[in-house]
Amino acid sequence: MLYTMNVSDDLISWYMDHKRSLPWRETRDPYRIWLSEIILQQTRVEQGMMYYLRFVNTYPNIGFLARAKEEDVMKNWQGLGYYSRARNLFATAKYIYHDLGGEFPRSYDNLLKLKGVGPYTAAAIASFAYKLPHAVVDGNVARVLSRLFDLELPINSAEGKKLLDSLAAELLHPEHPDLHNQAIMELGALVCTPQSPGCGKCPVRMHCMAQQRGTVTMRPQKVKKSKAKAWSIHYMVLESEEGVIFRFRKKGGVWKGLFDFISLEDVSEPSAEMMLETVKGVLPQVEIKSAPRQVYATRHLLTHRKIEAEFWHISVTSVNGGALSGDCRFVPFEDIKALPVSRLVHKYLEKTPWLE
């Protein structure tokens, strides 16, 4: 225990001198800490900062977020990706506000019951907001621990994760779990980086087994993941004189709750007839005025998907005011910029005059 306390003390005193000043570190408000943690999942600090400030300005407390319109929350999230985070964020805000009387859960176990909150986020909120002794293990911490203890086990295997959890808990400072957690994550972000770690200026190099054994570049070990699957999407963009027909993604999947267009998926090189038939199948009332014309093509990467997307423009007669079937909605040109859309659709919209 003396050994691990030394590590933690060294980490904390280094952190106090070198930490970056970040707004979510200046608060003990569990709402703001939760918000920052959800935003920072799979997001770089620089990018997350803008979204964090936007969210705390627009929704300064859980009541503001719970009473917001889902469409607005999704719009404010736009560009961050992983939209299930935004949907969970909104669902959790409503749950806390309506079912828990606006009181954030105060224990690790109850935090874990919140949608979108896993062991890492629960430990982060529990320690940062309430100083509870729960150790965080994110990618940065896993890398630091695997080098500190020179672990041969892959950090993304079940056994590896179990071992990391127990080492992280053992290392945790009993009186300052908040500072300890921040410090070890900061070390991973600033010094013990994936490539070229700065061992020469590392506050825990005297304790680091990988450094002593010359295995730093071999740590952490990881099990190779399967390659991203290919996904081809042909979007049909129906434009009339007053606006564009969008489709709302109501069902599950990565883009649930966002708007895109009627599409043909995983069909390689569909013919013009096939596209027009698809449009007619979804929107029989719409009168088509022109053949599909390709206006934009791009590649887009999601975590497990490699997307080849093509956007096809089709002119249609005016449908403004008429009811549309198939989750479709007519959107006047001037309202397009307010729609929540995926980063992929946004890439296309940027090529049109509709966002100006």
Active site amino acids: 37
Is position 147 an interface residue for ligand SF4 (rule: CB under 6 A)? yes
- Segment near ligand SF4 (CB under 6 A), from 34-42, 209-217, 226-234, 321-329? 209-217
Residues 6+ apart with CB under 8 A from 329: 245, 246, 247, 248, 259
C-alpha 241/C-alpha 34 separation (Å) is 45
CB of 11 to ligand SF4, least distance (A): 10
Q: β-strands 262-265, 293-301: how paired?
A: unpaired
With contacts defined by CB under 6 A, how many residues of the chain interact with ligand SF4? 15
Residues 6+ apart with CB under 8 A from 306: 228, 229, 230, 231, 299
Q: Which lies closer to ligand SF4 via its Cβ, residue 74 or residue 204?
A: 204
For tokens 């079912």, the residue is: 99
Is position 11 an interface residue for ligand SF4 (rule: CB under 6 A)? no
Is position 191 an interface residue for ligand SF4 (rule: CB under 6 A)? yes
C-alpha 18/C-alpha 188 separation (Å) is 13
Q: Which lies closer to ligand SF4 via its Cβ, residue 4 or residue 278?
A: 4
Backbone angles phi, psi at 311, to 5 degrees: -110, 125
Among 151, 185, 210, 279, binds ligand SF4 (CB under 6 A): 210
Residues 6+ apart with CB under 8 A from 73: 65, 86, 89, 90
Is position 144 an interface residue for ligand SF4 (rule: CB under 6 A)? yes
Is position 30 an interface residue for ligand SF4 (rule: CB under 6 A)? no
Q: Which lies closer to ligand SF4 via its Cβ, residue 204 or residue 245?
A: 204
The residue ranges of DSSP E strands in the chain, in sequence order, are 229-239, 243-248, 259-260, 262-265, 293-301, 305-315, 328-332
Q: β-strands 305-315, 229-239: how paired?
A: parallel
Residues 6+ apart with CB under 8 A from 53: 23
Give the distance from CA 163 to its chain's centroid.
26
Q: Which lies closer to ligand SF4 via its Cβ, residue 205 or residue 300?
A: 205
Is position 205 an interface residue for ligand SF4 (rule: CB under 6 A)? yes
Is position 316 an interface residue for ligand SF4 (rule: CB under 6 A)? no
Q: Which lies closer to ligand SF4 via its Cβ, residue 96 or residue 192?
A: 192
- Segment near ligand SF4 (CB under 6 A), from 118-126, 141-149, 246-254, 341-349? 141-149
CB of 188 to ligand SF4, least distance (A): 8
CB of 36 to ligand SF4, least distance (A): 25
CA distance to 14, 127, 131, 136, 222, per residue, from 107 (Å): 29, 10, 11, 15, 32
C-alpha 112/C-alpha 102 separation (Å) is 17
Is position 192 an interface residue for ligand SF4 (rule: CB under 6 A)? yes
CB of 249 to ligand SF4, least distance (A): 43
Crossing angle (nearest 10°) for helices 2-18 and 177-190: 70
Is position 123 an interface residue for ligand SF4 (rule: CB under 6 A)? no
The CA-CA-CA angle for residues 15, 118, 56, to 5°, reads: 65
- Segment near ligand SF4 (CB under 6 A), from 108-116, 206-214, 248-256, 325-333? 206-214
CB of 210 to ligand SF4, least distance (A): 5
Among 127, 146, 211, 240, binds ligand SF4 (CB under 6 A): 211
Among 204, 233, 279, 339, binds ligand SF4 (CB under 6 A): 204
Is position 151 an interface residue for ligand SF4 (rule: CB under 6 A)? no
C-alpha 276/C-alpha 255 separation (Å) is 24
Binding mask 212-231 toward ligand SF4 (x if CB under 6 A, else -) reads: ----x---------------
- Segment near ligand SF4 (CB under 6 A), from 45-53, 115-123, 199-207, 267-275? 199-207
Q: Which residues bind ligand SF4 (CB under 6 A)?
A: 144, 147-148, 191-192, 197-199, 202, 204-205, 208, 210-211, 216
